[in-house]
Structure 1
Amino acid sequence: MDPDLLTTTRAFRRRLDLTRPVARREVLACLDIAVHAPSGTNRQPWRFLVLDDPATKQAVAEYYRKAFAAYLSARTPRPDQLRDLGSGQYLAEHLHEVPALVLVCTPGRPPAHPLQLASFYGSVYPMVWNLLLALHSRGLGGTLTTAHLAYERDIADLLGIPFEEISQVALLPVAHLRPGPATPAARTPAAELTRWNRWDGA
């Protein structure tokens, strides 16, 4: 295990190099690593639609921007959230310029029962994290975004995705990283977040 890779892989938005193309073979190499993630009953329920056509990215980005604007208008952020929200706004404004967008999908529609719902998403998100680690290890970066899901059906129609059969789970912008610090982000120590044996400490 490489603790440096684990502690320095983060949500890259402003550091994405919007001017440098990403070769399809690089995306596929990272996806080949990502699909080794565990999944419930080893069903490997991930599918990928990679967008690198400028007009297609522009169309998806327009939906993303509308969804992100609605998200912002419904919030009253705390002062400590302003930096991250600004970073998110930057990504929304420049999403169409990102060299590649990886749309992560899974067969079926989200179930209503919490147990099944946890398995539905829990069998895909470990692969997404693997993908982010693989990207970072190669000098690339991205972030897991979901704002586009506010317009999932519209995007499905745009991209020819059968909405009733395939769910979109995440959208990852992928780009080479511009130079920047490779230091761990500030995190609350696990000891402050951990209880033992009972939640109420009794």
Structure 2
Amino acid sequence: MAPLAMTTDELLTTTRAVRKRLDLSRPVERELVEECLALAVQAPTGRNRQRWDFVVVTDPARRAALADLYRLGLVRPRQQVAGTGLDRTAEDWPGRLRMAESARHLFDHLHEVPVLVVPCVRVEGRHETASHVGQANAWGSIVPATWQFMLAARSRGLGTAWTTPHLHYEREAAEVLGIPYETVMQAALIPLAHTIGTDFRPGPRVGTDRIAHWDTW
């Protein structure tokens, strides 16, 4: 499949978290996934080491098991996740309601998504209690590689979304996928499917004047 005709800026501004517009009835060709992975491995790596892997899940039973753990992580999380602390105004509510509707759709249909991708990072020991620097080192390569995978997917008419609820049950997910839990940490669960249409627009974001700090906070 030839990449979509778009500029680099269009690719960067229209790679959305896709949930409702994932085509659940159309299989994803293995060649497309391999093309995306080939581009993902070209991402910059922290400490000049490629210590990450991607588990590509197409088996229906394993996809269903991961979807169950994703749902369990949402309805019965094992640990509380701190709030963002961001300012929320009444103007945010329409967007938040759309997000909730979109998230509900994925909650109901995740097991039907044709491909689930689990990016992983190899470690010498679990990092749950690592220092801030240790955490940054652990995730500093897999996150760019995964984002590069998601950009490559978008350029080929595929949709993705970064999700993490299944990590509340990471050990159980490791058992489903045969991942060595003590030495490999999962970073996310990425649904991957062709999109229903390819006409995505830039998302609503705050202006750079609200997030850019020049020389000092």
> What is residue 147 of structure 1 aligned with on the other side?
165
Query: What are the within-5 Å matches in structure 2 for residues 30-109 of structure 1?
Result: 30-70=36-76, 79=93, 80-108=95-123, 109=126
Shift of 1:192: 1.7
Offset of residue 175 of structure 1: 0.2
The residue that corresponds to 2:130 in the other structure is 112
Q: Secondary structure at the match of 1:195?
A: coil
Deviation at 1:87, TM superposition (A): 1.2
The answer to whether the 8 Å contact 1:128/1:144 transfers is no
SS at 2:119's partner residue?
strand
Helix, strand or coil at the partner of 2:189? strand
Kept after mapping to 2: 8 A contact 1:15/1:180: no
Which segment is superposed worse, 115-124 or 180-189?
180-189
Secondary structure of 1:50's match?
strand
Distance 2:14 2:116 in 1: 22
Mark the CA change 1:180 to 1:33 in structure 2 (over 3 Å): closer, same or farther. closer
Partner of 1:173: helix, strand, or coil? strand
> Which stretch of the first structure deviates more once superposed, 151-160 or 82-91?
82-91
1:180 is displaced (CA, Å) by 5.4
Number of equivalences: 197
Contact 1:16 1:178 in 2 (8 A): yes
- The aligned counterpart of 1:191 is 209
Q: Give 1:170's aligned residue.
A: 188
User: Can you give the 5+ residue segments of structure 2 that lack an aligned partner in the other structure?
Assistant: 1-6
> Equivalents in 2 of 1:136, 1:147: separation in Å?
23
Correspondent of 1:179 among 197, 211, 217: 197
Q: Following TM superposition, by how much is the alpha carbon of 1:197 offset from its aligned partner in structure 2, in angstroms? A: 1.8
Contact (CA 8 Å) 2:157, 2:198: kept in 1 or not?
no
- Percent identical among aligned pairs is 44
- In 1, the alpha carbon distance for the partners of 2:137 and 2:103 equals 28
What CA RMSD, in Å, does the superposition of the two structures yield over aligned residues? 2.0
Distance 1:55 1:138 in 2: 27
Please give the alpha-carbon distance, in whole angstroms, between the structure 1 residues aligned to 2:199 and 2:177.
36
Aligned counterparts, 1:12-31, within 5 A: 12-31=18-37
Aligned residues of 2:118 and 2:188 also touching (Cα < 8 A): yes
Cα offset, 1:116, TM superposition: 1.4
Alignment-mate amino acid for residue 174 of structure 1: L
Gaps of 5+ in 1: none
